[in-house]
Amino acid sequence: MSHRILQITDCHLFADRRELRGIATWPRLEAVLDEIRNRFADFDCLVVTGDTAHDEIEETYVAFREALGDLTERLFLIPGNHDNREAIAKVFPDRCELIDGRLTFQHSLGGWQLIGLDSHIPGEVAGRIGAAQLTWTGGPFCSTQDLHTLIFVHHPPVLIHSRWLDAIRLEDGEVLIELLEQFPNIKLVCCGHVHQESATATSGPLVLTTPAVGPQFRPRTDEIEIDPLPPALRVIDLEPDGTWTTQVVRSEVK
Ligand SMILES: [Fe+2]
Looking at residue 119, its pLDDT comes to 97
CA of 77 to the centre of ligand 1 (A): 14
Q: Is the dihedral of CA 69, 155, 177, 211 positive or negative?
A: positive
Measured in Å, residue 194 CA sits from the centre of ligand 1 at 7
Residues of the chain with pLDDT under 50: none
Provide the CATH number for the domain formed by 3-250 in this structure: 3.60.21.10
pLDDT attached to residue 139: 72
What pLDDT is recorded for position 158? Answer: 97
Ligand 1 centre from 121 Cα, in Å? 14
Domain boundaries, the chain: 3-250
Three-state secondary structure along the chain?
CCEEEEEECCCCECCCCCCECCECHHHHHHHHHHHHHHHCCCCCEEEEECCCECCCCHHHHHHHHHHHHHHHHHEEEECCCCCCHHHHHHHCCCCCEEECCEEEEEEEECCEEEEECCCCCCCCCCECCCHHHHHHHHHHHHHCCCCEEEEECCCCCCCCCCHHHHCCCECCHHHHHHHHCCCCCEEEEEECCCCCCEEECCCCCEEEECCCCCCEECCCCCCCCEECCCCEEEEEEECCCCCEEEEEEECCCC
| Distance in Å, CA 144 to ligand 1 centroid | 31
Query: Whole-prediction pTM value?
Result: 0.97
Measure 52 CA to ligand 1 centroid, in angstroms.
Answer: 8
CA of 116 to the centre of ligand 1 (A): 17
Query: What pLDDT does residue 142 have?
Result: 64
For residue 103, how far is its CA from the centre of ligand 1 (angstroms)? 17
Q: How far apart are CA 187 and CA 232, in angstroms?
A: 22
